[in-house]
Amino acid sequence: MLVNGQGCETFISDCHVRSAVELVNHTWDPVVLSALRMGPTRRSVLLERIAGVSDKVLTDSLRRLAARGLVERTPRESGRDAAVYELTPLGTSFANGPLAHLAEWAAENQAELSATS
C-alpha cells in the first residue's frame, strides 16, 4: 500500500480507511450495531427498537454484519425468533469506538449537516 503524509492514497483499493468505511456502507448496518450496544437481543426486539427498518432489511443487515465478524447469532430455543444477536469483541470495539465517535460528531454538527442536505 502506498501511503502519503495524510494516510492512504484515495485510489488505492486496500486502504484501511476504505475498509473501515465499508463497515458502515449500508444505511442500516451502523444503526443495527448501535442498537446491539445495549446487549444481546432478539430480532423482534431489534425490529421494535429500530424505527423504520423492515424485517427483510434487518435480516440482511444482521447476516452481513455476522459475515464480517461484527455480530454473532446464537440459537436459543426452537421457534422463528429464537436466536439472539450480539456484538462480537470486534463489533463491540467498532460500535463503542469509531462508530460512537462518528455518532457524537454527527450530533454535535447536526445543524450544519442538516443545512447542507
What CATH number does the domain containing 21 carry? 1.10.10.10
Residue 38 lies in a domain: yes
Contact 89, 69 (CB under 8 A): no
| Beta strands at 7-8 and 71-74: parallel, antiparallel or unpaired | unpaired
Does any domain span residue 8? Answer: no
Report yes or no on 5 lying in a domain.
Answer: no
| Segment 12-27 mean pLDDT | 77
Whole-model pTM?
0.79
- Does some domain include residue 86? yes
Q: Above 60 in pLDDT, residue 3?
A: no
Q: Which residue has the higher pLDDT, 57 or 20?
A: 57
The predicted-structure confidence for 55-91, as pLDDT tens digits, reads as follows 999 999 999 999 999 999 998 776 666 799 999 999 9
Structural domains of the chain, count: 1
| Residue 117 domain-assigned (yes or no) | no
Share of the chain above pLDDT 70, in %: 83
State how far the Cα of 20 lies from the Cα of 18, in Å rounded to an integer. 5
Q: What is the pLDDT of residue 22?
A: 82
Across residues 103-115, what is the average pLDDT?
91
Nearest alpha carbon to residue 23 among 68, 87, 73 = 68
Quick: pLDDT tens for 32-63: 999 999 999 999 999 999 999 999 999 999 99
Q: Which domain holds residue 22?
A: 13-112
pLDDT of residue 5: 57
CA 95 to mean position of chain CA atoms: 7
Residue 2 counted as domain residue: no
